[in-house]
Amino acid sequence: MAATACGSSGGSSGETGSDGADQVKVGVIPIVDVAPIYLGKDKGFFANRNIEVSMEAGQGGAAIVPGVVSGQFQFGFSNMTSLLIAQTKNVPIKTVSAGVASTGEQGKDFGAVMVKADSPIKTAADLAGKKVSVNTLKNIGDTTVRESVRKAGGDPKNITFVEIPFANMPAALQEGQVDASWVVEPALSAVKAAGGRLVASNYVDAAPDLTVAAYFTSAKLAGEDADLVKRFTEAINESLTYADAHPDEVRAVLGSYTKIDEKTRGELILPKWPVEINQASVETLAELGRQDGIFEGATPDVAKVLP
């Protein structure tokens, strides 16, 4: 309770709890991707480093970057494209560790472009001129889907991207509001269960072993409390490694912070949690985003974002 009570002070460095541990708030989206941090907390990887971690989960993550910059959260979880967008707008942030990565396997990744079973769309090339849903416009979804289309020999120019929350995509696809949907787990499993067909693994097409998201902090905290950042990074790295090696525990911990039912938890495709940020893949994302005009003419400085 003490952790929540001190929150409104707005200091950028973590508060110190009664037992002397640094109280750290992490802004996350309550989805599969952040299972390692929940698992790491349960396993005591943070407590061992004198960090009392609490997760602040918001829908869609709109609050995460501003929350970290204003010091409401000490760390946040966000996809790489969002972090690159923030960099082009000179938002003072810095990644501290890897977050989540693509499995790198065609057809077996935790995100995919799906169509209805009877859709005339057979390959990514057929997406040209069609209506495709993504959870956020001008972000990692549309830029990687465009790359899938290009790789399959199609023209991504005339795709109409529509913004729909992942949770609503199975219904939107079913009802024919869109021709295809880019979904991640657990919505991916829901689309499959409804008979959906996979046409592209867009993360896999974008870059080998794509680093999809990362944990980050504000430049201010990184400068003021390097020791806390170092300990947090060690704890999250241990959590990522542990999660990658214990998929059953990941599936179990999902039940603690999501409402994904047990059957789906057992079946969904888990992402990869490597410790290293794949720098080449981030540069590819930056280049793809630049081509697609996601950065509004600017070119992100990848080195400024990465640790």
Partner 1 sequence: MKGLYGLAGLLLLVEALPRLGLVDDGYLPPATRIAAALGDEVVTAGFWQAVGDTLTGWAIGLAIAVVAGVVIGVGIGAVPVLRAATASTVEFLRPIPSVALIPLAVLLYGTDLGSTLLLVVYAAFWQVLVQVLYGVADVDPIAEETARSFRLGAWARIRNVLWPTALPYVFTGVRLAASVALVLAVTAELVIGAPGLGKMIAVAQTSGAVPDMYALIAVTGLLGVAINLAARLFERRTLAWHQSVRGEVAS
Q: Which residues bind partner 1 (CB under 8 A)?
A: 4, 7-8, 10, 25, 27, 29-31, 56-59, 62-63, 66-67, 70, 72-73, 165-167, 170-171, 174, 186-187, 189-190, 194, 257-261, 264
Question: Smallest distance from the beta carbon of 281 to partner 1, in angstroms?
Answer: 25
**8/18 with CB nearer partner 1:** 8
Q: How far is the CB of 26 from partner 1 (least distance, A)?
A: 11
Kindly state the tokens that stand for 83. 């972090």
Nearer to partner 1, 194 or 219 (CB): 194
Shortest distance (Å) from residue 250 CB to partner 1: 15
| Sign of the torsion formed by the C-alpha atoms of 225, 226, 231 and 234 | positive
- Minimum CB distance to partner 1 smaller for 207 or for 254: 254
The distance of closest approach from Cβ of residue 150 to partner 1 in the complex, given in angstroms and rounded to an integer, is 30
CB of 304 to partner 1, least distance (A): 22
Amino acid at the residue 164: I
Q: Using the minimum distance from each CB to partner 1, give the nearer residue, 25 or 272.
A: 25
Minimum CB–partner distance for residue 209 and partner 1 (Å): 25
Nearer to partner 1, 73 or 273 (CB): 73
Q: Which one, 111 or 186, has the nearer CB to partner 1?
A: 186
Q: Considering beta carbons, is residue 17 or 30 the nearer one to partner 1? A: 30
Q: Please provide the distance, in angstroms rounded to a whole number, between the alpha carbons at the two ends of the chain.
A: 32
Minimum distance from CB of 69 to partner 1 (Å)?
8
Yes or no: say if 170 and 194 are a contact pair by the CB < 8 Å rule.
yes
Nearer to partner 1, 74 or 143 (CB): 74
Kindly write down the DSSP assignment for every residue of the chain, as one continuous string.
-HHHHTGGG--SSPEE-TTSPEEEEEEE-SSGGGHHHHHHHHHTTTGGGTEEEEEEE-STTTTHHHHHHTTSSSEEEEEHHHHHHHHHTT--EEEEEEEEE----TT-SSEEEEE-TT-S--SGGGGTT-EEEESSSSSHHHHHHHHHHHHTT--GGGPEEEE--GGGHHHHHHTTSSSEEEEETTHHHHHHHTT-EEEE-HHHHHSTT-EEEEEEEEHHHHHH-HHHHHHHHHHHHHHHHHHHH-HHHHHHHHHHHS---HHHHHHSPP-B--SS--HHHHHHHHHHHHHTTTTTT----HHHH--
Shortest distance (Å) from residue 253 CB to partner 1: 13
